[in-house]
A and B are shown apart, each in its own frame.
Chain A
Amino acid sequence: MKFADFILREAIRTEIKSTTKEDVIREMVQSLLSSGGIKEDEYEGIVKAIIRREELGSTGLGRGIAVPHSKHPSVDHIVGTVAISQEGVDFDSLDCEKVYLFFLVVSPPGEPGEHLRALEHITRQLRDETFCRFLKQSKTQEDVCQLLNEADDNMFGK
């Protein structure tokens, strides 16, 4: 699986202003809504599902990275987006450090393999420090899209 298969390019946000975990999740789900990735009446349900998932264990994986996610019956294929915070957000991360790079994913129930492939692709790139540095430096949606395209072309995470 590649970023092109599930990241909604129009939903990508650089320089998000949210300063709390819940607000980051809300801002990112709102970006999915604004770009047509989810339905308006499902917004609150998806936000709550992701927050519930966080309560089972933070997806702040350390090294300034978080992958908030949940499954939700309102989507029939995986949708995701990327957000960057320049200030960093307290996300209850495993290493107790702030998070700067967020990949949010919503998956349909009953497709654990697809969900796993999406997380595999995301985390494979995030293991690459150069990818993380370039992503954090991205100032525009276009910058991020270009980086994701390069990652899809196997330029990172080898």
Chain B
Amino acid sequence: MNALFTLTRELEVLNNAGLHTRVALLLFKTMERFQSEANLSKEGRIASCRSVLDLLSLGAAKGEKVLLTIQGEDAEQVLQEMVTLFENRFYEDDNMQNTEF
């Protein structure tokens, strides 16, 4: 039987627009490449990274912290991918006035 990894990491939302719809879609699409289950939680509210609806309901704004919990055989890869997305502000340009939400 394979070991089931559970990893957690606190992440800060760095982009100006926060965890808005397009970011939630990016996280959702990222999860399609993995088997593990990942949740983000904020102030007791838990959101599956496989649900855009859940992710938006966190209302995670710039400067706020969320707790990432991943469980599954490829948890380490998911963690790396998520950390990269958060650290790179989800590849959004905060100076672009026309960035769509």
Q: How many residues of B contact A (CB 8 A)?
A: 23
Q: Which residues of A contact B61 (CB under 8 A)?
A: 112-113, 116
Question: Are B56 and A94 interface neighbours, CB within 8 A?
Answer: no
Q: Is the CB of B58 within 8 A of A69?
A: no
Report Cα–Cα, A57/B28, bound state, in Å: 12
Contact call B53/A119, Cβ cutoff below 8 A: no
Tally of A-B residue pairs with Cβ under 8 A? 73
Nearest B-chain residue to A57, judged by Cβ: B25
Would B21 and A67 count as touching, CB distance under 8 A?
yes
Q: Is the CB of A120 within 8 A of B58?
A: yes
Tell yes or no: B30 within 8 A of A by CB: no
**Size bracket, chain A contacts:** 20 to 34
Tell me which of B56, B58, B62, B100 contacts A53 (CB under 8 A).
B100
The contact string, 1 if C-beta is below 8 Å from chain B, for chain A 108-149, is 011011011101111110110000000000000000000000
Chain A residues near B51 (CB, 8 Å)?
Answer: 62
Scan residues 56-90 of chain B and give those whose CB is less than 8 A from a CB of chain A.
Answer: 56-62
- Chain B residue contacts of A94, Cβ below 8 A: 28, 52
Question: Which of B16, B20, B53, B60 interacts with A127 by CB under 8 Å?
Answer: B53
Query: Who on chain A is nearest to B58 by CB?
Result: A120
Instruction: Tell whether, in the assembled complex, residue A109 and residue B57 are in contact, meaning their CB atoms are under 8 Å apart.
Output: no
Nearest chain A CB to B35's CB is how many angstroms away?
Answer: 19
Across the interface, B57 reaches (CB within 8 A) one of A53, A115, A124, namely A124
The reply to whether A116 and B17 contact each other, CB–CB distance below 8 Å, is yes
Task: Tell me the nearest residue of chain A to B45, going by C-beta.
Answer: A124
CA distance in complex: A5, B19 (Å): 21
Q: Knowing A71-B100, A112-B16, A112-B17 touch, does A56 contact B53 (C-beta < 8 A)?
A: no
A61 touches B20 (CB 8 A): no
User: Within the assembled complex, what's the spacing in Å between the Cα atoms of A57 and B27?
Assistant: 13
Cα–Cα distance between A117 and B61 once the two chains are bound (Å) = 9
A107 contacts partner chain B, Cβ-Cβ < 8 Å: yes
Complex formed: what's the CA distance from A17 to B21 in Å? 27
Q: Is A65 an interface residue (CB 8 A)?
A: yes
Which among A109, A116, A124 is the interface contact of B20 at CB below 8 angstroms?
A116
A112 B97 Cβ-Cβ under 8 A: no
> Is A85 in the interface zone, CB < 8 Å from B?
no
Starting from the known contacts A59-B21, A63-B53, 6 additional A-B residue pairs (CB-CB under 8 Å) come to A61-B56, A71-B101, A94-B28, A116-B18, A116-B19, A116-B61
